[in-house]
Each structure stands twice: as structure tokens, then as C-alpha cells.
Structure 1
Amino acid sequence: MLYAQTTPADKRRLFRERLATGELLRFPGAFNPLSARLIEQKGFEGVYISGAVLSADLGLPDIGLTTLTEVAGRAKQIARMTELPAIVDADTGFGEPMNVARTVQEMEDAGLAGLHIEDQVNPKRCGHLDGKQVVDEQTALQRIRAAVDARRDANFLVMARTDIAAVDGLDAAVDRAKALVDAGADAIFPEAMRSLAEFEAVRKAVDVPLLANMTEFGKSDLFSVDQLRDVGMNLVIWPVSLLRLAMGAAVRGLDELEASGTLTGKLDEMQHRADLYELIDYEGYNRFDTGIFNFTVAR
């Protein structure tokens, strides 16, 4: 009932322990708190919170328009709804190194298990768009050092994302990844890798956990969990997939409503009211206060 029973500190500790095993952990992207609970119900290992999704949720493009307050607030709403660890996309850290430090502490307070900070120029753009620019190495390393120095919980994961492959090639990405690890990054997110061989090259270069981004319609092919496991990835995200599926279904539903004036033909595609009530634990609230929640769910 209400929010997760596992504390943020325990989520972080358990996440770190599992990440240390070397297995591949699957983190689908949640587009709201309810979808985070569904991810947990379906047996995944964690929840990812995408900056692109948070921007889209506000009707904005993913070009650095969201604020730290908006992202931390929405991330808190999502993270507290699940027993799973949640990782959030913190873009470039919302400013200079001191802003990065504040971002880390805000995300700790919001109950996140970790975040990633990228090396794009601020304001950034979506990692799978052309025309990206990255900062110089010193600036990138300052961001990560600031993040590591600022955290109060040693189990809070500071991941460094590098977008430099799309700008200067794979060799530059490998060099940048090594430098980011030396600066204290707990994990590396090499963005927009084009092949399994590129993922494997980064894997051979560093000995920290690596994240693979399987976003649709982007620069990377959509590799399977087994393929990514075979080249040594430790985390895989599908950041926008659930939002795309939900919006696709919404488009089809509105088209049907416009065309026929009824959604009777779409009932089999809808989540049943009973399934929704189970997901949000209406019965738990009923047990807590039968004077308020005194109904039965009809099927």
C-alpha cells in the first residue's frame, strides 16, 4: 500500500550487490509511476527514467529544457512506487560542476539508486540525433568528480555517459571511457554504439559495469538481451519503449473513436479495470480502511 517498503538505501545496496555479480540487469523505461509498478510486476530487475520521456511528458523536445526540480520531482514519484532500483537520466547535470553536485544530492533525496551524467555541451540534445557536440575532456571529468564527491551514500551509482563516439569515433569513445573511470565513474554508458563489436571494444577497455541503450529508431541496432550479455554488458535499458507503445495504442484508439464513435472493438486491447485495481493494490487500501474502500471488483 502507498509506496515501496524497501528504503532507498537498501535499494542502492541491493542493486550494487547484484551489479557486482556481472549478470545483465534489465531496466525498461517507466513513463509514469504506474508503469514502474508494472515493470516490477513483470519481473524485471530495475526501472530506468529517461530524460527524453520526462521531456515528452511535458510536451517538450529532449534538448535540455527540463529543470532539475522537474526531473527530481518526477523521478521521486516513479522511484518510490516500486521495490526495484531506479536510475535516472540527469543529462549534463543541469549546469556547472557545483550544479552537478547538487543534482546528485537531490537525486539521492528523491530515492534514486543512481544517475548518469553525460559529456555533451549544455544544452544537450537527444543522444541519437545528428549534430551533437561534446565538451572537452577536462570539463567531462570535472562533472564526474563533482558527482562522486557530492554523494553521501557510497552505494549511489554515478554513471558517466559519453556521446563522443558520434562526434569523433569509437577510439575517442574508448579513450574517454577510460578517463571517466579514472575520474571515479562507477559505470559507463557509451551512447549510440552502432554494432556489437563497438560495445565489445568498450568492454575490453574498462573494468566497470557497462550500459547498453536499446532505443528504437536510433543509431544502434536493437540487439537482444542474449546478444548483449554475450559481449559483456551489465545493464540494458529500453528508455522510451513503453511510452512509444502507449502512445501508439492511444493513437489507434482515438482513430477508432473518431471513425466509429465507440471503443467497443478495442476492449480486448485495454487493461481491464480489475487488472488496474490489482496493480495499484485497491484491496490493500480496502483492508486498511474498509469504511472508505468498501467495494468489490466486478469482472
Structure 2
Amino acid sequence: MPDATDPGVAADSTDATDAEGLTVGRVSSRLGVTVRALHHWDDIGLARPSLRTAAGYRRYTAADLERLHRIVVYREIGLGLDEIRAIVADSATDVPGALRAQRAQVAERIERLRQLGAGLDRMIDAHERGLLLTAEQQAAIFGPRWDPGWAAQARQRYGDTAQWQQYAERSAARTPEQWQAVTDTVTGLDRALADAMAAGVTPGSPEANQLVERHRAVFTTAYFPLTRQMQVCLGRRYESDPGFAAHYDGIRTGLATWLRHSIDANARAHGIDPDAATWQ
């Protein structure tokens, strides 16, 4: 195009005066827009220069510059080129109405960004703290034996694992009411396990295997996806970790060991050697 070699594109031309019109380069510098944008606006008929040199170079008059200034202002507040064209081309256009509509859209975007910021803050807190519940809420939901320090201990032990990240992301989106529903589901499972043991259900039986699968499903929904190999590792911890063992044996004496044996038997039924199972 002719303007590609116009000396005013690369720098101000000392030969170009306001009376002769401003070069593309000078207009670009004055308004802070690119030469490419000026060319595009000319091509689509949004802002065509009123003058051309004998060589075909664009030259912009004071009136052209005023129109361009309006275009730049409207573009900066987020109006599209078609909306801008309607405003600058038609004096009958309801400019205040168009600006009010744009302001409403901006307000909606601001609110979406505010919500996004709040969500990010919750996600950060969940990754760092695990639970976004006060100590009082934790006691009310998880019971008087719950130690609020357990979440911090879990973060210290597992914070660099994919499972902690999955748990934190679920925790960030969970309300106290949803945590209460999770707790009720887990409590119901614990009761079913204890009842099965009391009824003499043996590890490896269909009923025990069904409960083990229920345990895995509840855990996956409440915390993070649990594979059968991971479940075996968790079963070992239920029996060996004093905190876990106290929880299950507090429901029914020997329940931690019964649950571990049931998990191991179910794993064998699915071709997994419990002795060789790893956290994967």
C-alpha cells in the first residue's frame, strides 16, 4: 500500500504541516494507536482521511483527528467497532443510552471478576488450610472429638501430593451444609461397617466386599479419588495409626482390624496383592 513507504509512517515528517494534513505516523503518535489500526479503520470506512497526496499517501485533517479521537475513547471503554460506527456516523444515535448499556456490561464484568477473585482467595486458603471452617463449625459438624489441628497436620504431611490438591479444590467449593452432608454420609458408612462386624460378616464375603466398595465410593466423593491399591494402603493406616484406630475402635472394638482385613480380601478378589499394594 502507498503508506508503507510514506516517510510519516516511520517518523514525523518535517515537510508535513497541519495545513497539508497529518501523516499516518503523526496521527499514530498523537493518539497512541498503531498505524495498522488506522489503515484498518480506513479500509472498513470507519475513519477515512479526507486528504491524499499526489502519491496516494493518507493525510488527516483536524476534523479527521477529532473523529479519530472519539473512536479511540469509545474503543477504550469497550465499545465494538460497529457500535462506534453507529455513534460517530449518526448524530441521531442515543449516545447516552449506548454508554449506559456499556456501563451496565462493565459492571457485570466487574462483578464476575470480583466473584472470580473471591473464588481464587478461597482456593488459596483451601490449599493452605485444608478446611475453610471455623473451629466452632468444625466442632459442630465433625463432633466434639474432632481436633481442628488435624487439617494442618494433613497439610504438612500431604500438601505436595495430587490428592491434597484435589481435596483442597473440593473443600474450597464446599459450604458448611455440604460438609454436614458429607459427615452424615461417612457416619452412616461407619455405622454400617460396625453393624456388619457385629452380625458376624466375614472379610471376603459378598456383603463385606459390597461395604468395602461403598467405603471407596464414599471416600472418593468426600475427599479425593481412591483406587483399590490406595484403599489397601489406607486400610493399613486405619489399623496402625493411633488416631484412625481410636476412631474405628471407638465405634466398635476391633473394627479397624476388621475393616483392614475386609479391604485386603476385596483387593485380592480384584487381582491385587495387598502386601505389594502402593499408593497409586
| More helix per residue | 2
| More strand per residue | 1
Name the structure, 1 or 2, with higher relative contact order (CA <8 Å, separation 6+): 1
Give TM-score, length-normalised by structure 1.
Answer: 0.20
Query: Rg bigger for which structure?
Result: 2
